[in-house]
Structures are given as C-alpha cells and as structure tokens.
Amino acid sequence: MLEQDRFLHGFALLLCICLGSLLSGIAVSEIPLGSKLSVGESNSWVSSNGDFAIGFYNFPDQPKQFSVGIRFNSKSVPVDKQTVVWVAGGDVTVGNNSYFQLQENGQLVLFDALQGEEVWTSKTSQLSVALAVLRDDGNLVLLNENRDVIWQSFDSPTDTLLPGQRLSTFRTLRAASQNYVSSLYSLYMNVSGQLQLRWESSIIYWSAGRPSHSNLSAVLSSDGSLQLVAPNLERFWSVFGEDHNDTVRFRFLRLDVDGNLRLYSWMEVSQTWRSVWQAVENQCNVFATCDQQGICAFNASGSHVCTCPFHHAVQSNSKCLVSSQHDCKPGSIMVEHANMFLYGIYPVHDFISLTSLDKCKSMCLSDPSCTAVTFTNDGSAKCRMMKTQYVSGYSDPSLSATSFVKRCSDPLAADPIFPLKSPPQAYKEPYNICIPCLVGAASGTIFVFIVIQLGMGFYLYKRKNIYRRLASLAHSRPGSKCLIILSFTEIKELTGNFSDQIGPKMFKGALPDKQPVAVKELEGTIEARKFRAAVSKVGNIYHKGLAKLEGYCCEFDHRYLVYEYAENGSLDKYIENPTLAERLTWRKRMDISLSVGRAIFYLHTECREFLCHGNLKCENVVLDENFEAKVKEFGLGMLYGEASSRRASAQKDVEDFGKMVLTLVSGFKEVKDVLDWAYKEWMEGNPENVVDKRLKNEVDAEELECALRIAFWCLQADERVKPSMGEVVKVLEGTLPADPPPPPFSCLISAREVEDTSESGSEV
C-alpha cells in the first residue's frame, strides 16, 4: 500500500486529457496514409479493442506544451489514471495548432506550429509504408502492402515496457523528464546480457543477469514476470511480481522519475495502479535519490526523506551543499556523522583507498580540495574521498560507515590591545614659542585636512554605495532566478578596472562575497532592447554543463555579460599547449565530449524554447576547478540579429560538435586540414593513427571507434543524414550504436564554395 500511495501522489495529476479526446477517438483497424491528429481537434487513433489510444496530451504545469503519446484508453480505467506508455520523440513537446500525421510518403511526422518545422519523424519515407495500425497490445506499427512490419513503437520505447515488448541489446528506457531537465536515470540492456539501472550512464546501481550471455532481451510477460530471454525464447533470468499468475487485465513496467524500476498492475476493485515489484527495495540505494537536496534517510512511517546535515552550508533552491573550503583562514575541522555513507555526484568519480579511519580523516584534513570522506568499517577499510560540493548519500542506524565533512573552524576572538605606558620623560628646560607662527600653521593644516577629508569622504561614500549595492545583490543572489543588473562603474569595481584579462575581451572579477566571475565585453552598438531580451532568456537557463550567466551591464554604449568563473580556463589552451595537453587524458577528453554534447542537447530540446549555441568551439568550452567542462557564450547569435531556421541552427551546432570531437581525438585545432586524412586512416583500419600523439597508451579502442564514427556523422556534407544532438548523446553514452559513416567530406568544402559563388553571383 505504501508504494501504491506514493505512486498515486506522484501521478494523480499526470495528464490533463480533455474528455473530448475520448469522444473523438474512433476504434479503427487501419490508419490510412494522410491521417492526421491535431492539438486543436483533440482527436485520437484507437486500437480495435479500445484498450489503447494515441493522441496529444499535456501536463498540468505545462498547459501550452503538448506531446504525442500512446496511453491506456479502456473504459474501465478512469481518465486521470490513463497512463502514457510511449511518447513520440521522448521529451519532445510542441505548441498549439501542431499536428501528428502519417504522411502520404509513409512517414510519421510531428510538426510544431510554433517553430514551423518537423521536430520528430519515423524516418520511413523511403520504405514503402502503406498504412499504420495501433494494435491491441499498444504497439503502433507501420506496414507495407504485404503487411510486413516496417517500423514499430515497441522498438523505440521511452520509459515503459508493455507485456510482450522487448528491450533488446543497446536499447534504453529513460525516466521521464522532471522540471524541464532531461532525466539522468536509464535502464540499459548491454551486450553481455545484463540489464542495468544507470545514473548518467557511468554509475550502475542495480543489475540483473550474468555477464556471460550475448544477444539477450528483457521482456515483460503477460503473467507478471520480467525475464531475460534468448532469441530462441530460452529464459536465463526472471523475477516475479506479487500477483504473478493472477488474473490481471493491464500491466506495465516503468522506469520512474525517482530512478527505480517498478512493475505495475491495474486493480479493478480499488481502481488504482499498484506497484507489485520494484528493482531496488531500499530507495536510498538508488544513486542520487536526493540529488542536490542532501542525504537519504527513512522517517518513522518508513518513507524515504531527504535531509541536510550540513547545517553550515548556504542553501538555495533547496540545495544542500557542503562547504567549498576555498577560503578557510581560521583553519578546518572534520565534523563526524555516524552511520552515514556519502558520495560525490558532480563529479561522480571519488578517490578510494584502503586505510584506517584516522588516516582517512587526516588525509581529507590535509588536502585543501577535499570536502568530505566516508570510511566503510565493515571489514573492507575503504576510504572514499570527495572533492566536490555536490555530495549526496544515505543514512541508517544499521549502516557500518562513518563520514566526516570538512568545515571552517570558528574564528578566535582577537587579542585585546592594551595601551603601552609611556617611558618617563627627562626634564627639559622650557623654551619660547612663536604664537603667531603656531596659529598660522595650525589654520593652514586644518584647512588642508578639511579639504582632504571632504574629498575622501565623497570618494568613500560613492564606493561604499557601490559595494553596498553589490553586497546586497550578492546576498540576494542565492535562490534568486533574477540576473544582477550592474552599472558600468560597478563593472569596473568588480574587475579592478579591467586589470586581469583572461581572454579576448574577457576579464576576471570578483563579487563582494569573493565569488570569482568572468566578465565578457560585447559591442556597444547592440540595441539595448534586444540585448536585455536576449540576456533575460539566456539567464533563465541552468544546466551543469553550461556556464551560468550571473548578470549584465547595459548602460549607454556599454554592454557586458557576467558569467560564473571557471578556474582552469578554456579548452583551447589545453589543446595548443604541449605541457597542459598532458592533463587532457583520454578519459577526460571523452568526458568533455559527453558533457558538451549533453549541454547542447539541453539547449536544443529541454529549454522552454529552442536555443542554439551558434559558435561552438574549444574557445567557448571552459573547465572548472574539478576539470568539468562548461559551455559558455551560448545564444549570443540573438544579440547580433542572426536569424535562421531551427533545423539549420541545430545542424550548425551538430557540425561544430563533430569538429570539436575530432579536435579532442586528434589534437589538431584546425580540423578542416585533417578531415580527409582522418577518415582515410579510419577506413583503412588504422584509427589509432588519428589519436593525439601526446596521449600515452591509455586510449580505449571501443571508445575511439565510437568517437570517430559520431564525429564523421556530424560532419556529413548531406544535411539530411546528420544526427540530432539527442542521437549523438546516446551514441556517446553507449546506449545507441553508430553505423559506419559514408565519406563525409568529399563535397563539404566544394558545396559551400558553390553556395558562396552563387550568392555573390546573384548580388552582381
């Protein structure tokens, strides 16, 4: 009942589906070419038994954003319980007046009227599709004249499996997005026959099956069991729900937003969905259950809650961060937390060593970058050291682990200063004093003193007002979604009159709370209204792979942007400098590629409105104190009136990303000089020749193959075959295979030269 109540609480308001959609849905056995569903008409296609329907729906907190999905449609299931089991394009949403159509060429298309273009297709226009059918099992299929299946929704699941549906090798379920941010939780079927629950593709917190069989699939049976089966239907692993073999009309398996995999059954009597099995019994064992909201524990009723034991941390937006320890002049102390296990989540790779508890504690205390450690005293004697503010974990009285969190010790009171006794003065004879001289000197001194005081007072008054305003802004900034609006005088104060230049028109500065910032100077000719509109849009975007815009200056002919500061500077200097390049290990280069890819994917699909970068290159990727990549200067094309279609802008970012990946692999900054050579080496079976010679023997051959393939696909001259950033990210995550790409560069330059020539010719 606990899981049932929790599910109802989370999904009672899942969908806002108009009753008209039920009335307008017509049970049809076939969906002919040209059929269309639209937001305005609230119509739907229904399976012949009426159990499933496909149509537009939206969420209560997104009244103007719609998705196309297959949902339960049975009359025995109330409207508010008709759960969506498949979504076209995953997290893709469209605006009013949009439509979903089976075109005459046999391709399913989701058209966004707001953007004026297609945002998802089934890519079946050349496959002789004759009709579509929504089958009674909830599978939407496209068939040819011979009734062969050309495409089916069962092959591209989103977060749910229905009975009979298979999750084959390299396929993935991804939890639904939350708060407009793509979920980091996924269920993945690897090539070795293991079913894995992952967080950000690098942390596996649950697995099923033995890593000894290939070509297995996960399948949900109608009797309520999850199985791993071979192509010949031989079963290698299975797990059963509580109502296994009971008569249940509807079941489904879903990866929920909290990262747990659950099997649900429809209870006719209570008219509710009931969780009859879940992969991780202890929710606190799901990695990053609390994310940035503290650590996971259980309350008296047995429900998991997120608590923040780091009472000294400044909390904003419900975040619970440990101290950064960058400026701890009084010294540091280690605060003990018994029966608590901690781990870093951004980044996730903690340093683990075998040592004693006291040594574990002292190692962190002596390391300025260490924020917390956990000693596992269950006999393993493992010391886990974290070097990030983003720390999560779980706590339980039975847990054999002790954690220590570093914090600044309280400063000591200043020693009182006592006046020193003057030594006894020797007796001296009095001497004559010139009274007029003394009066004149005193008057002049007083006058000069008054003038100096007035001048200094005026200067300090202005300076105090500036710092008082900056301090108030800095104090209000945590938890505030508003950008700091600064005057030009305040910009000069922040940057020390532009004394520390860290790049072209880029200066380092610091807020009154000593938080460093990077200040970017832009052209003063940018129209003020356009500038404010653009920075307001960019300032509302937050992603851990994007450099946060903190504030701006728009005063007279001054235009400045204030970004969060990245300690290790831009990526390009590490590519160019032979010494610094040694810090760019193969692992780090692949991490940077994935981080940048996710950031661009977020701009393209996860923001309320599509946003492109427009100028993605190594100079616009910076590395923070943890050497994590952040993309900066995104969306600046809006400031210069650059207008292009959404598709063209997205493809420009994809091409630039391909160049960056090839740069990271090869070490060559000018990619256009090595395109043909790199592809030739890869085609001839010598991909290792493309690798940066400054890298040691640490390159993973499988990752190299994956990186080169996706780079070559991104750099295809034919725009129609370029992948989306979503597909790029899945390939880099290892959840989507990449086919061998065709030669991408043969007409890349020539085509552009022809285009440039034609444009110049038309002008003549």
137 and 222 within one domain: yes
Instruction: Please indicate, yes or no, whether residues 704 and 725 belong to a single structural domain of this protein.
Output: yes
pLDDT for 294-346, tens place per residue? 999 988 777 889 999 886 544 445 688 888 765 677 788 899 999 999 999 98
For residue 361, tell me if it sits in a domain: yes
Q: What is the pLDDT of residue 314?
A: 46
Selected residue with higher pLDDT from 98 and 534? 98
350 vs 375: CA distance, rounded Å: 13
> What span, in angstroms and rounded, lies between the C-alpha atoms of 462 and 475?
20
Start-to-end CA distance of the chain, whole Å, equals 77
Last residue of a domain, one of 565, 598, 625: 565
Nearest-CA neighbor of 197 among 92, 319, 82, 285?
285
Asked which of 231-235, 312-316, 350-354, 457-461 is least confident by mean pLDDT, the reply is 312-316
Per the CB < 8 A criterion, the answer to whether 407 and 339 are in contact is no
User: In the beta sheet, which residues pair with residue 336?
Assistant: 404
Per-residue model confidence as pLDDT tens digits over 61-112: 778 889 999 999 999 999 999 999 999 988 788 999 999 999 999 999 999 9
Choosing from 381, 408, 435, the residue where a domain stops is: 408
User: CA-to-CA distance for 707 and 710, rounded, in angstroms?
Assistant: 5
Number of structural domains, the chain? 4
Q: For 625-656, write each residue's pLDDT tens digit.
A: 888 999 998 887 777 655 456 667 888 999 99
Q: Which residues pair with 602 in a beta bridge?
A: none
State residue 524's pLDDT score: 84
What is the Cα–Cα distance from 101 to 110, expressed in whole angstroms? 7
Which of these three, 283, 317, 351, is where a domain ends? 283
Q: Which residues contact 684 (CB under 8 A, 6 or more apart)?
A: none
577 shares a domain with 559 = no
State whether 151 and 186 are in the same domain: yes
- How far apart are alpha carbons 335 and 281 in whole angstroms? 30
Q: In terms of domains, do 580 and 561 share one?
A: no
Q: Is the pLDDT of residue 249 over 90?
A: yes
Q: Is the pLDDT reported for residue 129 higher than 90? A: yes
The CA distance from 74 to 69, in Å, is 15
* 55: containing domain: 30-283
As given in the structure block, the two tokens for residue 324 are 């950064």
**At CB < 8 A and 24+ separation, what contacts does 154-157 make?**
157/86
676 and 633 in one domain?
yes
> Average of pLDDT values for 736-756?
60
The DSSP secondary structure of 74-135, one letter per residue, reads -TTS-GGG--EEEETTTT--B-TT-EEEE-TTS-EEEEETTTTEEEEE---TTS---EEEE-
Instruction: Compute the distance between CA of residue 384 and CA of residue 314 in angstroms, rounded to an integer.
Output: 24
| Alpha helix stretches (DSSP H) within 357-421 | 357-366
Same domain, 558 and 578: no
Q: Is 195 within 8 Å of 208 (Cβ atoms)?
A: yes
Spell out the SS3 assignment of 452-483: HHHHHHHHHHHHHHHHHHHHHHHHHCCCCCCC
**Residue 520, CB half-sphere, CA atoms under 13 Å: how many?**
19
Instruction: Tell me whether residue 354 is in a domain.
Output: yes
4-8, 454-458, 547-551: least confidently modelled range: 4-8
Q: Please report whether residue 164 resides in a domain.
A: yes
Tokens describing residue 566: 């990245």
Note whether 364 and 330 are same-domain residues: yes
Q: What is the pLDDT of residue 658?
A: 94
Q: What is the CATH number of the domain that holds 521?
A: 3.30.200.20
Domain assignment of residue 14, yes or no: no
Looking at the structure, do residues 96 and 173 belong to the same domain, yes or no?
yes
With respect to residue 469, please indicate whether it lies within any of the assigned structural domains.
no
Contact 158, 136 (CB under 8 A): no
Confidence tier at 717 by pLDDT (50, 70, 90): confident
Token code pair at residue 80: 């508010």
158 lies in some domain: yes
Any idea which of 238-242, 431-435, 688-692 has the lowest mean pLDDT? 431-435
Q: Identify whether residues 76 and 34 lie together within a single domain.
A: yes
User: Sign of the C-alpha dihedral, residues 698, 703, 707, 709?
Assistant: positive
CATH of the domain at 309: 3.50.4.10
pLDDT of residue 472: 43
What pLDDT is stored for residue 538 in this prediction?
A: 85
CATH no. for residue 245? Answer: 2.90.10.10
46-65 confidence digits (pLDDT tens): 999 999 999 999 877 778 88
Are 64 and 130 in a shared domain?
yes
**pLDDT of amino acid 539:** 82
Q: What is the mean pLDDT of the chain?
A: 82
CATH number (domain holding residue 705): 1.10.510.10
3-class secondary structure, 50: coil
Nearest to residue 404, comparing CAs of 457, 379, 367?
367
Three-state DSSP at 58 gives: coil
Among 65, 57, 60, 64, which Cα is nearest to 82's? 57
- What is the separation of C-alpha 584 from the centre of its chain, rounded to a whole number of angstroms? 22
Q: Identify the pLDDT of residue 306.
A: 93
Per-residue pLDDT reduced to its tens digit, 471-495 = 444 433 433 345 788 989 999 999 9
547 and 581 co-located in one domain:
no
Query: Per the domain annotation, does 79 fall within a domain?
Result: yes
